[in-house]
Chains A and B, each alone.
Chain A
Amino acid sequence: MEHALQPQKVDVLIVGAGPAGLAAAIAAREAGTKNLLVLEREPEMGGILKQCIHNGFGLHRFKEELTGPEYAQRDVDRVKELGIEVRCGTTVLEVTADRQVTAISRDRGVQVFQAGAVILAMGCRERPRGALAIPGTRCAGIFSAGTAQKYVNLEGYMPGRRVVILGSGDIGLIMARRMTLQGAKVLACVEIMPYSSGLNRNIVQCLHDYNIPLMLNHTVVDIQGRERLTGVTVAQVDERRQPIPGTETHFDCDTLLLSVGLIPENELSKQAGVPLSPATQGAVVDDTLQTEIPGIFACGNVLHVHDLVDFVSAESFKAGKAAAEYAAGKKTGNRIAPVADGSGVRGVVPQKIRIPDANSPAEAIQLMFRPACVYENATIRVLDGDTEIYKVKKRILAPGEMADLTLKSDTVRALSGEKITVLIDAGGEVCAWKK
């Protein structure tokens, strides 16, 4: 006869020990949660930072420039100092809406927990080849940029010698340099859009430094090779991103790296019935990072894909504190103002603001979003119903850089409860492409 496992009680349970999960754990413990548990699928803490050996992390949070492993180590050290229990090598199989969490590991087998609050911190995944519909053969030698990064930096293998990179996201740019430094020839970085979504710093230091051409308005239209990749065909695209016949160029290469976007990893969230936002592909949350399922919180790249880990940490500190307070029975305001994307704005987080009761303290609230395209000298406006409650002028706004604004506590307290709209007023100009 089967025995149902008696669930172990945990006040705050965190899924994932990457930068988001670790920051959330630190904040929850610092907010007073004693019975706290972090579950991590990989054998070690640190998440994707472990393989990001380049520098540039921590400028906002630590005011110094660290490599990924160094940044992660600071949180790992703090987690250890606080005596927080982290079970590595433990995969979460299920999270339910009433916060029962089932996990499995090699050493402990199946484990079931009943959590007072759950924080989802599973991070994101790379968009794969299958999502792109590139014609051609299914040969070896096609990797997502992050997979190649793992091979080179954590396992010490070189995935190939002659490389084309599709997409100019930061991971692709970083890998262009990394492969070059390890002796590979990177032939081109191919970007379908008229601009790169990567940082200028990476375009200069990863492409220009090594004379790697950035082919804007181009894409891969054919992949050749039986066993192993032997070449790709690249063509220019028109304004509708359709290949222009007659513009094809061929590259002999053994490796194609894809850096074509990241998708929040929400399989567990979906199982729990957490509603997701089509714009962010992460959970719909309020200003405490609580999802629409009471007691389930989300932070970091599982919520929306960030550009900088510093902001992942900042967001996750908030989620950890809020989850600790929820588990301890703290009540929040009942009146909710929905937040919507206006013109030029994609994926505002949070999607809801809880308006504080008259006698409870109000806090300033940060809103984050991505501009839909490149704008110069545009104004970001926030409307409460039809009333403007915030505006700021920006010299430049671009999809590659997450924008943010902070509503002051007085503004938050005075919210009417009507729909809040964030929009970019570009003075009639639709898009300014960087040439």
Chain B
Amino acid sequence: MEKMITCINCPIGCRMTVNVDNGQVVSITGNGCKRGIEYAAQESVAPKRMVTAVVSVTGRKTPVSVKTRTPIPKEKIFDCMAVIEKAKIEAPIRMGDVICENVCDTGVDVIATKTVL
């Protein structure tokens, strides 16, 4: 199967064609440098994204911002958002505190990126 990938490493934005067979990269063409190869290989087989959002804090006007500690599989973004949306938290919260553990069985925690005392 052929996949078109736009490189995100620099402003050139090379359009690369990746041949994927059975979840394995067979060939990558169109890259301008070797950073493109790494990116295209990851992106065509198992794309991942950081998810960032906010969670409301009981009794506070300002929500607390959160992120997945590391990128999660792209197809789980909306499931992850649904979990984050349901989270109920109370102050005090410190930057780095775990808000949702192992979100959607990704093995990745959602953590606070802000301190609310």
Contacts and interface: CB of A to CB of B under 8 A. Distances in A.
Interface stretch (A111-119, A126-134, A198-206, A422-430): A198-206
Main secondary structure of the interface of B (DSSP, over half): loop
B74 interface: yes
A67 B52 contact: yes
Given A53-B54, A156-B54, A396 B11 contact: yes
A69 interface: yes
B11 A53 contact: no
B49 interface: yes
A400 interface: yes
B50 interface: yes
A181 interface: yes
A152 B54 contact: yes
Contact of A181 (B10, B65, B77, B95): B77
A304 to B, nearest CB: 19
B74 to A, nearest CB: 7
A153 B81 contact: no
Contact of B113 (A67, A200, A203): A67
Contact of B11 (A154, A156, A398): A398
B6, B12, B52, B63: most-surrounded residue (chain A CB, <10 A):
B52
Interface residues of A, number: 29
B56 interface: yes
B42 interface: no
A393 interface: no
B67 A155 contact: no
A395 interface: yes
Given A67-B67, A73-B95, A73-B115, A396 B10 contact: yes
A401 B11 CA distance: 8
Interface of A: 53-55, 65, 67, 69-70, 73, 152-156, 181-182, 199-201, 203-205, 208-209, 395-396, 398, 400-401, 434
Interface of B: 6-8, 10-13, 32, 49-54, 56, 61-63, 65, 67, 74, 77-78, 81, 95, 113-115
19 contacts: A53-B67, A54-B50, A55-B52, A67-B65, A69-B114, A70-B95, A73-B114, A153-B54, A154-B62, A156-B56, A156-B62, A182-B81, A200-B6, A200-B8, A201-B8, A205-B49, A209-B74, A395-B32, A400-B11
